[in-house]
Structure formats: C-alpha cells, structure tokens
Amino acid sequence: MTTTLAGGRAARRQTMRRIRPRRSPAVPLLIALWAGAAAVLWLWWDNTPSLADTTSKILAAGRITGLLAGYLMALVVLQMARVPALERRVGTDRVARWHAMTGRYTLCLVLAHVFLTMWGYALQAGKGLGAIVQQTTDSINQLPDMGKAAIGTGLLFVIGILSIGGVRRLIGYDTWYHVHLLTYASVYLTFWHQITTGNEFAVEPAAKTFWYGLYGAVTALVLWYRILTPIRLNLRHRMRVEAVIEETPGIVSVLIGGRKLHRMGAEAGQFFRWRFKAPGMRFSSHPYSLSAAPRPDMLRITVKAIGDHTSRLRELKPGTKVWAEGPYGAMTAQRRSRGKVLLVAGGVGITPMRALFETLPGAAGDITLLYRANSTQDLALWGELAKIADERGARLMYAVNSPDGERPDISAESLQRKIPDIDRHDVFMCGPPGFAQSVYEALRGAGVPARRIHHESFEM
C-alpha cells in the first residue's frame, strides 16, 4: 500500500521562491577560520622570548600546541552546534567531515601539548624524559584547574578512540552518539586551565577577553540551536504519528501530523533528526529525510529497516509524540544551476529524490529520475513516482538486477546513451556510499562537472 502526499504546483511555486543565486560560504568561512589560527600564532610569537636553550624550545612548542588545541576545541563545538548557515548552505555531511577532521587534529595537538609541556617542566626541575609521568602527576596535584583538565583530556581521548570507524561500528550508533555528547564536558573541563595557567592570558588582558569571547560565542550558539530552537519548534508544532504505511517489504512510511508544519522552513531534499516517544526509542535520535514536500498538516519520512531503531518504526502507534530537530541539509533546489536536472537514487535514497522530483520547477522533459534497486519489488514509492512523472512530463527510469543477479550497467557510456545531453544537467544523487561513489565516477566520465554533482550523506 502507498500513500500520496502531493504538493503539486503550490510546492513547486514555493521551491521557486527559495531558489537563489549559487554561492559558496565555505571559502569566506575557511578564510575566517585560518585568520583565527593566524591570530593564535601571532599571540604565541608576540609572547615568546628568545629561545636560548632546549628547555625553552620544548616549553614554547608545548605552549603553541596548547593554544592551537584550545582554538580547535572551540571549532569542534561550533561544528556540533547545527548552525543553519553551516548546515543548510555548506552541507551537513561536509560540516560533519570538518568536525571529524578537526577532532583528530585537536586530539593530536592535545597529546603533543601534554607531552611537550611535561617534558619541559621535567627538564626545568633537572630531571630527564623518564620523569614525565611523575611530573604530570605533580602538575595535576599542584597547578590550578589541572585536575579538571586531566579529566577532560581523558574524555577527549575516549571519544577519539570510539570515533574510529571500526570501533564506532562495533558499539552501535546510539552508544556512539551519546558518548560523543561528552565532547561538551571535555571542552568545559579543559577550558579553565587555559585561562589560569596560560602565559599568554596572564600577560595579555586582550587575549583573555578574546578567548572568553570565542568560547562564549560558541556556547551561545550551542544553547540556541541545540536546545532552545528545538524546544521552540516542538512546542509550536506539536507533532504526532498519524499512521505507519508499509510501502514495500522492509520499507515503511511514517506520516507525522502537527500544526502549521509548512512554517518549519523545510525544503525538499532536507532531513530532520527524529526522536519518537515510544518504548525503546525515547533516547534515540536518527536522521531521516522527508519523502514528500511538507504540507501544512503533514510530513512524511520513508525508512528501510536496517537496524533496531528503523525496525521499530513499523510498530509506532498513531498518537505517538514526536520530537524533531531541523531541518538540516543543503541538497535542495538552491544548488541547481541548470535548467535540466537528473536525480539518481539508490535504494532508500529515493526519499529525498522523490521530494525533489515532485517540487523542482521545470518544463516537460527537464527533470529525469533514475532509480536503482535490487528488484522491481524494491522500488518503493513507485506508484507515486509514476504519477508525478505523468503529471509533469518528467522522465522516470529504473535499473534493477537481472533474474540471475547481474547488476545493471550504470557507466558513463550507458548514461550518455540514455541521456545524450547529460553533461548539461545538474545531478542530485542519494544512496549508499559505494553506489554514490560509482555513480559519481560514471557522471564525471560522462562529462558532468564536479560542481554540478550534488550529494549529501546522512551517515553521521
């Protein structure tokens, strides 16, 4: 059984109003971040006397690694704050990659800072490299706020270990997600020793003011966008489960009702983080894309059962309260730069593509959707897609395995045969990582510029 949530012309008019000239906020943002790093280096250089001996050089290296680690810690938290300017314009997956990379650099700098500083202190006390452990213990016991810093550093190390790909898959998404939230505690605990023991902040009041301002601004963003904004959104819209519909074996759609949902600012291609207040699901927050254009009284997500959380969705009862955060994601009509668009979906990646297929403005023949699945029985929402294609004069294709299990040919050559002018299309795609990578390579081989291939991964 399928259920249709059609926005039709009204949804396309709304999408057209949202289309703005393409722009990349990443470049000015990266310039600002590098300027901040340069300011930290200048602060260190301005307060570093002549490095006359080995001990001074080691301590100076410990100071600069500590300052840079403190700066990157603030960025790590900023990248967790879900600021709309980052999430919607840069892209959630790109921000997530920045966050992971920044976290790795931060952990390395913290470890270098601890080692170099304790080594320098040991040399000052007339001891050798072997006294680092004892020197660390003495510093924790004697210096202000060092005990809290030690706990924070330990938490940061644990988070780093559990964020390694193989380890993360072993412990499960929910465990990793909740452990990852300890990053806030780690940053808070390590902040205070920077102020009380950092030489730069002791001799430069302006530096201390800047540091308080940096961490204060980041804290305000976290409080606003991670706590207050979701509370306001959910109190205003009061969402509940209306129905759960089985689309194909293993794939269900959840209809979510509420008040004035079209005022949430959601667009086709975006997703929310959903928390369902049902047994076994209250403390799990997962990202699922909208599979239809938002309506004033209804949202829809379509999910494949691939884990404990997704499998429980079919058991949701009408009336179950829903807590949502979002909307997030940048794979929207705003990325479009050409009149013609190809949408490519793999498996349950059809959900954001279905919403875009319905709402992207275009004349007959401008919009094409290619749907990859294992079999025709796995083509979720196919009835809706066929109806949309018929109403809009859009082109709808599917690629499934042959009866003997052979995969369909999705290569540069096959794409060019099916869509001769593919190099003049924008391409939006969503699907498993391996599928997305192979399609990306085929598109590039077919002459589609990288800047016109739009993909966003929600595996965070």
SS (H, E, C) 338-378: CCEEEEEEEHHHHHHHHHHHHHCCCCCCCEEEEEECCCHHH
Based on the number of CB atoms within 10 Å of its own CB, is 229 exposed (0-12), middle (13-18) or buried (19 or more)? middle
Predicted confidence at residue 86, as pLDDT, reads 82
Predicted confidence at residue 105, as pLDDT, reads 95
Query: What are 236-257's pLDDT values in tens digits?
Result: 999 999 999 998 888 999 999 9
Predicted confidence at residue 309, as pLDDT, reads 77
Predicted confidence at residue 331, as pLDDT, reads 87
Whether residue 76 contacts residue 95, with contact meaning beta carbons closer than 8 Å, is answered with no
What is the residue extent of each domain of the chain?
48-232, 333-455
The CA distance from 148 to 270, in Å, is 40
Predicted confidence at residue 48, as pLDDT, reads 83
The CA distance from 29 to 48, in Å, is 29
Predicted confidence at residue 201, as pLDDT, reads 87
Predicted confidence at residue 459, as pLDDT, reads 53
Predicted confidence at residue 221, as pLDDT, reads 96
Query: What are 388-431's pLDDT values in tens digits?
Result: 999 999 999 999 999 888 899 999 999 999 999 999 999 999 99
The CA distance from 351 to 353, in Å, is 5
Predicted confidence at residue 248, as pLDDT, reads 85
Q: Give the residues of the chain that fall short of pLDDT 70.
A: 1-26, 457-460
Predicted confidence at residue 60, as pLDDT, reads 93
Domain 333-455: CATH architecture, name and number where available: 3-Layer(aba) Sandwich (3.40)
